Structure 1
Amino acid sequence: MFSFLNNHNGNEQKTYLICGLGNPGSSYENTRHNVGFKAIDLFAEKFSLKFKKKWRAEYAECEDEGNKYIFIKPMTYMNNSGEAIKKFAKKNSVKAEEIIVIYDEMSLKVGRLRLRLGGSAGGHNGVKSILQYFGGADFYRVRIGVDHPGKGADIADYVLSDFTLSEMALISPAVSASVDAVLMLCTKGCDAAMNTFNGTVPNDSGQPNQETKK
């Protein structure tokens, strides 16, 4: 059991479920649809964690600044992401508002970030699955822009294709910034995180360039 510590805001320790969406397997590793997995991998690197397997997911846990974090990558494939997330939430008594989901967003330019609480699936099948398993309850979303392929393009082919080299130059710092955004959300609140990261294009170090905000 973990001890109850005081977090940044002086409250009892909270448990946050940080979920990155993607598809399992090396063939999907560098696709647009897997930026959520890349963020979770970066959390594991940051906190020197090793993944374990349970409930059709890879997961790792740690405590930091008075909070407990459970990082998960559902291994159910994108369209059934909600199954594993629901299981972890139930077994750890995590409320919907303590769940943060990181995923790709076609309505944002490549590398831009957007945080919010609640909303629709926006055509994203992974988010749609989570909403179905949680009965439409609100959870936090951290969306990483991958841009839209344009009218008439095959969406499935697009999100399941690899980033170009020029896109990777924007995506890598964006994934790094998404990690910072999640930690700020958990320690300083959603407003602080949104004001800092929403609409930004992070620089090479993953820090938000405020002048690039829309």
Structure 2
Amino acid sequence: MFPFFNNQNGNDQKTYLICGLGNPGASYENTRHNVGFKVIDLFLEQFSLKLKKKWRAEYAECEHEGHRLIFVKPMTYMNNSGEAIKKFAKKNSVKSEDIIVIYDEMSLKVGRLRLRLGGSAGGHNGVKSILQYFGGADFYRMRIGVDHPGKGADVADYVLSDFTLLEMELISRAVSTSVDAVLMLCTKGCDAAMNTFNGTVPNDSSQPNQETKK
């Protein structure tokens, strides 16, 4: 445990559960469905953390600007992501409104970002699982665009496919920017993070954040 004090903004210390969604195993590592894992991996690198294992998940934790951050990668496969997240939330007394879930979003162009509190699952099985375990309670969603394969395409195959080389450049920037957005959410609040990071392409503020037509 860390000794926690009030942070520089005068708010009480909080524990944030920062959860990246994905599937375990090397065959899924670079797929569209695993961008949530990529963000957690970058957090680990930035804070020089090593993963531990507990409650069917990999996790690490640190202190940042007076807050406790717990990073979680559920190892239960996407469709049962809520099991591990619920366990970590319960054991660490984390409220649903202090949970941040990072995942792929087909309704956004590749690399586009959108942060918000609450909302529907939007067809995402990982989010559906979390909503089921939490009884529909609101939590923050950091969505990273992976685009839509188009009408009639096999969505399941698409999200389990790898990014193209060009897409990887966009996703790399989006993953890095997502880390900044989540940290701002924790330290300055959701409104500040949304105003700063929603509606732009990473490293290109001139382009609007457009939704994909299905």
Using the size of structure 1 for normalisation, the TM-score is 0.96
Partner-residue secondary structure (3-state), 1:163: coil
Q: How many Å apart are 1:213 and its aligned residue?
A: 2.6
CA contact (8 A) 1:4 1:12 kept: no
Q: How many Å apart are 1:199 and its aligned residue?
A: 2.0
Q: Once the two structures are superposed, what CA deviation does each residue of 1:64-103 show, in whole Å capped at 9, x if it has no partner?
A: 1111000000000000000000000000000000000000
1:213 equivalenced with 2:199 (yes/no)? no
What 5-or-longer segments of structure 2 have no aligned partner? 210-214
Q: Once the two structures are superposed, what CA deviation does each residue of 1:144-168 show, in whole Å capped at 9, x if it has no partner?
A: 0000000000000000000000100
The code of the aligned residue for 1:89 comes to A
Match of 1:41 in 2: 41
Q: How many Å apart are 1:210 and its aligned residue?
A: 2.3
Q: How many Å apart are 1:18 and its aligned residue?
A: 0.2
Q: Once the two structures are superposed, what CA deviation does each residue of 1:18-68 show, in whole Å capped at 9, x if it has no partner?
A: 000000000000000000000000000000000000000000000011110
1:1-214 matched pairs, under 5 angstroms: 1-203=1-203, 209-214=204-209
Runs of at least 4 residues off by over 2 Å: none
The code of the aligned residue for 2:29 comes to E
- Write the distance in 1 (CA, Å) between the matches of 2:13 and 2:48: 21
The code of the aligned residue for 2:31 comes to T
Using the size of structure 2 for normalisation, the TM-score is 0.96
- Write the distance in 1 (CA, Å) between the matches of 2:9 and 2:152: 48
What 5-or-longer segments of structure 1 have no aligned partner? 204-208
- Write the distance in 2 (CA, Å) between the matches of 1:162 and 1:40: 18
The code of the aligned residue for 1:105 comes to E
- Write the distance in 2 (CA, Å) between the matches of 1:199 and 1:156: 27
Q: How many Å apart are 1:8 and its aligned residue?
A: 3.5
Q: CA RMSD in A?
A: 0.8
Q: How many Å apart are 1:3 and its aligned residue?
A: 1.8
Q: How many Å apart are 1:4 and its aligned residue?
A: 2.5
Q: How many Å apart are 1:197 and its aligned residue?
A: 0.6
Partner-residue secondary structure (3-state), 2:138: coil
Match of 1:206 in 2: none
